[in-house]
Structure 1
Amino acid sequence: MANGWVPDGAVQDQIDDTVRDAVSFARMRMPAGPSADNCDECGEPIPARRREAFLGVRTCVACQGERDKWPAFSGINRRGSKDSQLR
């Protein structure tokens, strides 16, 4: 289905790009390397079971919970409407 000047499949291309960007961002945020013994934010010891369960962990449970409260991904606007471009 064509939408004006947009070629066929353009909407699906936008969806695919959005999903690809979200996966790339999630992979980028995954911890890598050795786990820390103490939390990078508060300095409290990180339990051994957490370090084993999540390789590369850098924060304790409490600090990670605080981090998770705030959205980290604002996304890329691909809709192209005039109002959404003003943000």
Structure 2
Amino acid sequence: MDVADLAQDNDFNEAALQIHNTRIQRRSGPSAYRCDECGDAIPEERRQAEPGTEHCVDCKSALDHLRKRGIR
């Protein structure tokens, strides 16, 4: 492994850290009372467990699945 490989790896780690910190910041704050996707009520337990949530469990799972497949 040479210096260029180490620099590239360091850039990747820095980018991953920035993404992680952005997600933490986005997930803080008040949670929605209704799902942005389907409009159903978001249970209080979910709102407390995941601050800043905007989706019910079903929609969040579906959206995560679509993101993993690169669709959304």
Sort the TM-score into its range (normalised by shorter chain): 0.7 to 0.9
Pairwise CA distance, 1:67: 1.3
The structure whose Rg is larger is 1
Pairwise CA distance, 1:72: 8.5
Query: Which amino acid in structure 1 is aligned with residue 8 of structure 2?
Result: Q
Query: Which residue of structure 1 lines up, in the alignment, with residue 68 of structure 2?
Result: 71
**TM-score when normalising by structure 1:** 0.65
Residues 65 and 20 (structure 1), Cα distance of their counterparts in 2 relative to 1, 3 Å cut: same
1:49 aligns with 2:42: no
Pairing 1:10-21 to 2, within 5 Å after superposition: 10-21=4-15
Give the percent of matched residue pairs that are identical in Structure 1 and Structure 2.
39
The Cα offsets for residues 4-44 of structure 1, whole Å up to 9 and x where unpaired, read as xxxx5221110111121122123323423210000011100
Segments of structure 2 that go 5 or more residues without pairing to the other structure are: none
Pairwise CA distance, 1:63: 0.6
Partner Cα separation in structure 2 for residue 39 and residue 72 of structure 1:
22
RMSD between superposed Cα atoms in Å: 2.1
**TM-score when normalising by structure 2:** 0.77
Pairwise CA distance, 1:56: 0.6
Moved over 6 A (4+): none
Q: Answer 1 or 2: which has greater helix percent.
A: 2
